[in-house]
């Protein structure tokens, strides 16, 4: 196909920050229609990106407009019905993380996609951060992953639960760190976890030790009541270690050398735009390329189900 025709359901802050600007830069993409219940957001986004067809009813949009794919950028507890409707309309679908509220929702979305022959993708953008991708490549050149760590810290004291309690923190947000561990180390066979509610009436600290199929070790460290947002990754193989902050830089140590190889996030990405150096641009590019090639994206619904099941495993395996 010369151009992939995309319909957008959602014109909120995240969609406008990362998905619209990414797609607008692709010469092989046409944003054919846009839908949002908020008429002001709908009008402003449509005007900014010169999208002629606007809707407040997504069912009408997917019925009237010839589309190859639909982006559904909605809160997780609003996703399921829209995703199933679009899949049953034979449309390829991109959604943000998390892929629903429960793993059962994700599983059924994956089953429906397979039945309808649809390509699907979940926006686990950490896998597409250029700095992380480069660091992982350099580590794996030395051999298989021995150990990896994903940390995610925030200060959300007094903020309350996500979406007034519609979904838990681990599934909704800390899942980024969980999925990154699968991406770095592989599938998980055993878990021991420690989950706590600290200065809150809901769980906000999630820590886990896990064993990968290859025998390697994964460590999850998250806490939502500490100093500030800090989100880092470690990857270790024989004779090499990478310490990565996707927002900033990577320090790669090898062979007992005192001085590390330093990689800068913006230099590796070739851009100072957050949506480019933090993986959003590349994940969108991956989805579009997969549609053109008829190939299932890396973070498809079936793969996302495995991450959701790992979240369940962490909850079930508390010490």
Predicted confidence (pLDDT) per residue in 114-158, tens digit: 999 999 999 999 999 999 999 999 999 999 999 999 999 999 999
The mean pLDDT value for 182-188 works out to 98
127-271+301-316: CATH architecture: 2-Layer Sandwich (3.30)
If DSSP codes are grouped into helix, strand and coil, which group holds residue 188?
A: strand
Tell me how far apart the alpha carbons of residues 88 and 319 are, in angstroms, rounded to a whole number.
Answer: 42
Q: What pLDDT shows up at residue 241?
A: 98
Helices (H), 167-300: 169-172, 175-185, 265-269, 274-277, 280-293
Dmax over Cα atoms in the chain, in whole Å?
Answer: 62
Residue 82: pLDDT band with limits 50, 70, 90: very high
Q: What pLDDT is recorded for position 260?
A: 98
Alpha-carbon distances of 201 from 153, 160, 220, 225, 268, rounded to whole Å:
18, 9, 22, 13, 41
> Please, where in the chain does CATH 3.30.360.10 lie?
127-271+301-316
- Within the chain, all domains assigned CATH 3.40.50.720 are found at 4-125
Could you tell me the fold of the domain covering 4-125?
Rossmann fold (3.40.50)
Question: For 270, left (φ over 0), alpha (ψ -120 to 50), or beta?
Answer: left
Q: pTM (2 decimals)?
A: 0.97
**Of 135, 72, 140, 145, residue with least CA distance to 301:** 72
């Amino acid at each position: 196909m010369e151009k992939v025709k995309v319909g957008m359901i959602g014109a909120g802050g995240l969609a406008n920050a990362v998905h619209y600007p990414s797609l607008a830069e692709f010469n092989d993409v046409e944003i054919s229609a846009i839908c949002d219940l908020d008429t002001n957001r709908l009008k402003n986004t449509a005007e900014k990106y010169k999208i002629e067809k606007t809707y407040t009813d997504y069912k009408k949009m997917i019925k009237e407009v010839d589309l190859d794919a639909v982006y559904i950028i909605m809160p997780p507890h609003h996703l399921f019905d829209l995703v199933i409707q679009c899949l049953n309309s034979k449309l390829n679908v991109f959604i943000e993380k998390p892929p629903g509220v429960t793993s059962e929702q994700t599983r059924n979305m994956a089953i429906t996609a397979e039945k309808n022959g649809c390509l699907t993708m979940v926006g686990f953008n950490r896998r597409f951060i250029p700095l992380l991708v480069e660091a992982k490549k350099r580590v794996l050149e030395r051999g298989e992953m021995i150990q990896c760590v994903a940390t995610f810290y925030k200060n959300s004291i007094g903020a309350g639960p996500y979406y007034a309690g519609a979904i838990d923190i681990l599934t909704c947000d800390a899942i980024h760190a969980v999925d990154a561990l699968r991406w770095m180390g592989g599938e998980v066979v055993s878990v021991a976890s420690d989950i706590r509610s600290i200065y809150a009436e809901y769980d906000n600290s999630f820590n886990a030790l896990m064993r990968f199929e290859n025998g390697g070790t994964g460590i999850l460290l998250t806490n939502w009541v500490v100093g500030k947002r800090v989100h880092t990754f470690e990857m270790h193989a024989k004779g090499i270690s990478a310490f990565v902050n996707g927002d900033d830089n990577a320090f790669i140590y090898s062979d007992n050398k005192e001085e590390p190889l330093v990689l800068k996030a913006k230099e590796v990405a070739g851009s100072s735009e957050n949506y480019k150096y933090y993986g959003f641009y590349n994940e969108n590019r991956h989805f579009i390329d997969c549609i053109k090639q008829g190939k299932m994206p890396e973070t498809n619904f079936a793969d996302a189900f495995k991450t959701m099941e790992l979240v369940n495993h962490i909850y079930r395996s508390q010490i």
